[in-house]
Amino acid sequence: MSELTRFGVAMDKDLLRQFDEYVARRGTGTNRSEAVRDLIRDALVDTEWEASESEIVGTITMVFDHHANDLSEKLDSIQHRYFNEIVSATHVHLDAHNCLEVIIVRGASATVRTIADMLLGTKGVKHGRLVTTTTGASL
């Protein structure tokens, strides 16, 4: 981290009370400053994400029934199409029918979003989410 700079923030009392509760829920070893820094980084990651050319890394998590209409095959075929962006994939057989797959993706944000939309939008995927992150190098 580079040199720290202090700045003041004016805030509604009730909002600050709720923020302090949020900070307390995060547990010991954290404080207002740390919480504000994390929230700012999150916001900047979201902004970076909007710039479709910038590179992002993330995970796509999905749960699906592999018996449902050739789902495994369809999901695999999407992943093979984007082999450049898909870093790794872990498949867990949750029970006799359901599978959990976590895929690590890295690439242009627009492409990563397309991959996530295609996978999560495939009929039969019960639940899923794309979580993006950053190395923080540019933040």
Contact residues toward Ni ion (CB under 5 A) are 93, 99
- Least distance to Ni ion, CB of residue 20, Å: 44
CB of 92 to Ni ion, least distance (A): 7
Angle (nearest 5°) at CA 68 between 60 and 127: 30
Structure tokens given for 105? 């993706």
Instruction: Output 99 or 116, the one with its CB closest to Ni ion.
Output: 99
Nearer to Ni ion, 99 or 112 (CB): 99
> Cβ(120)–Cβ(63) under 8 Å?
no
Q: Which residues pair with 60 in a beta bridge?
A: 103, 130
Q: Which is nearer to Ni ion, 54 or 59 (CB)?
A: 59
